Structure 1
Amino acid sequence: MKKIFYLFIFTIVLTSCVKDEKPIVVTAENYHQTVDKITEIMVHDIFSPPVASRIYAYSNLAAYQIMRQENKDLIDFTSKFEELKPIPKADTTANINFKLAALIANMEIGKKLIFSEELLTTYRDSLYTEWKRTNEEEFNNSKDYGLAVAQHLSEWIEKDNYKETRTMPKYSVYSDDPGRWQPTPPSYMDGIEPHWPKIRPFTLDSSSQFKPAPHPEFSLKKGTAFYDELVEVYEIKKEMEKTGDDAEEVKIAKFWDCNPYVSTQRGHLMFATKKITPGGHWMGICKIASKKADLDFAQSSYAYTATAIALADGFISCWDEKYSSNLVRPETLINKFIDDNWKPVLQTPPFPEYSSGHSVVSGAASIVLTRIFGDDFNFEDDTEVKYGLPIRSFNSFSHAANEAAISRLYGGIHYRSAVENGIVQGRNLGNHVVKNLNIQPLTY
């Protein structure tokens, strides 16, 4: 009788020790929050626009490839990617949550590519604790698979020439050519990422595949096309000054500034204002569209990854032209030949003028997003609210891209040709990305 009694007590104790485990629920909102966290850390680390685009592309590609294991109807973006072998297949007998594994892979790749790893590790570990508490077996299996995929992709990522470009020579600015780019105030920084065209692209045959039409021939002679564009930049600023910060052109310029490092000098004190990159702004627009369309986790991953690839190839294409043409910025010429007290609305970024990076990547991203969400997808862009700027409304992605492009002329940092030819360059590239990756519209 005592044996039966002790057995009964043992069974009760054993049963009470068994966790009440439930399936781990991972939603599209979790995906948005993770992309936002990586963006936040990139702002903290002050990544340049080209480098930021690389981080977005690889981290989202890792998540998307895992989601394809669960949904075979998702398009295989990687079939044409150079030297990328298929990711490890999941163990079908194991309890694996593919959304969970995708987020883990996204964070793991992101952690490898940013500087402040501890910030992402803290965020990741808070999620790990919650997931493990919910269902330890599901968490462990999903984590193992996510990390395996991340390791597989890391081996491919390391061969994209990024590490090699870190040790290549700085851009040389010594030249008597007045049309050649020179560092600009206030910090007179070296040209950033002069070797970015050497980075392995995703869909391009080469970094020069989508060269823009040539800019007007450099000339300081009145009546020439180039000189007229230079004077236009100067005159636009003078016209805007009549209205001040209330001028719509000023509002547009500041909304699309997206300069990750705006340096301010007050006497001997110098400090930086940090913001998102132009790629970060378009990833934010992708989030806005995904949430408005109520996309699920897999669909959101699809939209983010396609957009990020367009941005990454856009920067490679644009930087190829920038360091080929090496065109001088308006601020340099206006200060030297027209008005030495003139300052642009925006701080001139530290790299050559032609073509406009905002124009190229905005054109490329807008084509991809239009393909996914449709021609007349209207949205409220609150991406810049955290940086003290109001919401702006757009009736399409093309509308937003056009405004992003012209903002560079209003900001006083680009000539008109860089804007107009740049957005054509970007749209041509975007159409190529859509065709190359076979991007299809989403039904939502």
Structure 2
Amino acid sequence: MIFKVKHTLSILIVFVFFSCQEKNTPITITPQQFHETVDQLTKVMIHDVFSPPVASRIYVYPNIAAYEVISYNNQTYNSLTNQLNDFEQLPDITLKKNTNTPLAALIAYMEVSKELVFSREKLLVYTDSLYNHWSKTNLKEFNDAKLFGEQVANHVKNWMHKDKYIETRNMPVHNILTDDPFKWVPTPPAFMAGIEPHWNKIRPLILDSTNQFKPKAPPTPSLDKSSEFYKELMEVYAIGNLIREEGNDSEKLNIAKFWDCNPYVSVNKGHFMFAEKKITPGAHWIGICKIACQDAKKDFESTIYAYTKTSIAINDAFISCWDEKYRSNLVRPETLINNHIDNTWLPLLQTPPFPEYTSGHSVVSGAASEVLTTIFGDHFAFDDTTELPYGLGVRQFTSFRNAAQEAAISRFYGGIHYMSAVEFGLEQGKKIGHFVNDNISFLSK
């Protein structure tokens, strides 16, 4: 009997010993876990069908929160407080000794993300699962990191809510009643009203003003066959016809489809219309940032730095581009070609629901490529696998600028932009990228 009690007691002691060991196992956070968390946010954004400008906002604030955590008392990375517009110094932070900073950064990212999507419950399932796992692995380490991460996240959220996004939700829709044949009107098949006509009211993160990099004006709209504008219009018509003649093996068609990134594609089947969900242009470049970080084997801090700098450039690129779109309010090629040249013609890509000039993908690609080039180098070759989950293949690029040039020209091949919008848009984006590079001090000297 005594033997049985001693034996049972020994087993209990061993069990308690190993249980305590398990509960105090250090929590390790890897760059891959951060990539997976960004991917999870992207999935929710696709589900919720956010517009390209709104998607850029959803990416940038969680990244800034994560970055502020890793830069806190860091000798390598500088805080973005007092560098970004209206982003004030962090309040006194409760930082326990030996706090797991990567864990706190990931928590800050997730806490801000949950404030930005419609399907919050989808992110809650993901975050709750991770929180449960970490708390069982090492409760004290998790609680200390969560306290730090939440304090930074709350500071970022308070700043975020003052960027005028909430106010723009109640502003009027874009007025589309016009007799001017060169002003934008809704396009088939869904004939949606123009999205985010007040996006230039959103506070930029680094730009001095929304029109700071106002692009060169497009050619004067005209149906005079000798005018520059009419020649560009006919170029769009001709390239669409040529690609159709080339068939499914056309490289130009592959390029157009690869960079489509239109979350608003409407599909008609019989009497039904439904949306075919895709990533946005900004999401594609966030995906390229992920690929570059993985290929370069960046550590956790360097990964967050790359995401944050890239997402800031993308965010302000959309604000700058949308400022021009609703200023020039230029008609899409599809509308003019159908009304004046060929009423049966269709672009290879579905025309997005907003004015034509400048090309959003061109502006964003120009900005993102310049920022990524400063991080990874001029000749960073990579395989772009971003579109694999959406049924498209892999494309190879010799540099980020090479990818940006292809992304820009894809809009011309797709029949949704004139060449001026592509060329001037790419130039506009590059200027924004250079401005981000020159005016934010991420790294300590």
Q: Could you state the TM-score of these two structures normalised by the residue count of structure 1?
A: 0.95
Q: CA deviation at 1:71?
A: 2.5
Listed one character per residue, the Cα deviations across residues 357-401 of structure 1 (whole Å, up to 9, x for unaligned) are 000000000000000100000000000011111100000000000
Distance in 2 between the 1:332 and 1:137 partners?
A: 62
Q: Which amino acid aligns with 2:136?
A: R
- What's 2:140 paired with? 137
Alignment of 1:4-403 (within 5 A): 13=13, 16=16, 19-20=20-21, 21-69=24-72, 71-403=74-406
Q: Which amino acid aligns with 1:212?
A: P
Is the CA contact (8 Å cut-off) linking 2:236 and 2:412 kept in structure 1? yes
The count of residues paired between Structure 1 and Structure 2 equals 438
Distance in 2 between the 1:232 and 1:121 partners?
A: 49
Percent identical:
55
- Unaligned regions of 5+ residues in structure 2, if any? none
Q: CA deviation at 1:94?
A: 3.9
Match of 2:114, SS state, is: helix
Is the CA contact (8 Å cut-off) linking 1:377 and 1:395 kept in structure 2? yes
Q: Which amino acid aligns with 1:24?
A: I
Is the CA contact (8 Å cut-off) linking 2:134 and 2:142 kept in structure 1? yes
Distance in 2 between the 1:14 and 1:239 partners?
A: 76
Match of 1:64, SS state, is: helix
Which stretch shows the higher mean deviation, 127-136 or 413-422?
127-136
Match of 1:25, SS state, is: coil
Is the CA contact (8 Å cut-off) linking 1:49 and 1:277 kept in structure 2? yes
Q: Could you state the TM-score of these two structures normalised by the residue count of structure 2?
A: 0.95
Is the CA contact (8 Å cut-off) linking 1:318 and 1:360 kept in structure 2? yes
Is the CA contact (8 Å cut-off) linking 1:47 and 1:260 kept in structure 2? yes
Match of 1:408, SS state, is: helix
Is the CA contact (8 Å cut-off) linking 2:385 and 2:393 kept in structure 1? yes
Listed one character per residue, the Cα deviations across residues 335-354 of structure 1 (whole Å, up to 9, x for unaligned) are 00011010000000000000
Which stretch shows the higher mean deviation, 278-287 or 430-439?
430-439
Is the CA contact (8 Å cut-off) linking 1:75 and 1:439 kept in structure 2? yes
Q: Which amino acid aligns with 1:371?
A: T
Q: CA deviation at 1:89?
A: 4.9
Is the CA contact (8 Å cut-off) linking 1:372 and 1:439 kept in structure 2? no
Q: CA deviation at 1:22?
A: 1.3
Distance in 2 between the 1:340 and 1:205 partners?
A: 44
Distance in 1 between the 2:322 and 2:240 partners?
A: 27
Q: CA deviation at 1:30?
A: 0.6
Distance in 2 between the 1:229 and 1:441 partners?
A: 47
Distance in 2 between the 1:84 and 1:286 partners?
A: 25
- Unaligned regions of 5+ residues in structure 1, if any? none
Q: Sort the Cα spacing of 1:98 and 1:215 in 2 relative to 1 into closer, same or farther, 3 A.
A: same
Q: CA deviation at 1:16?
A: 1.9
Is the CA contact (8 Å cut-off) linking 1:372 and 1:441 kept in structure 2? no
When the two chains are superposed, the root-mean-square deviation of aligned CA atoms in Å is 2.0
Q: CA deviation at 1:329?
A: 0.1
Match of 1:82, SS state, is: coil
Q: Among 414, 417, 424, which residue is 1:411 paired with?
A: 414
Q: CA deviation at 1:77?
A: 2.8
Is the CA contact (8 Å cut-off) linking 1:87 and 1:149 kept in structure 2? yes
Distance in 1 between the 2:263 and 2:74 partners?
A: 37
Listed one character per residue, the Cα deviations across residues 109-150 of structure 1 (whole Å, up to 9, x for unaligned) are 111001101111111111112111110000011112211211
Match of 2:72, SS state, is: helix
Is the CA contact (8 Å cut-off) linking 2:64 and 2:308 kept in structure 1? yes
Match of 2:274, SS state, is: strand
- What's 1:432 paired with? 435
Distance in 1 between the 2:140 and 2:114 partners?
A: 24
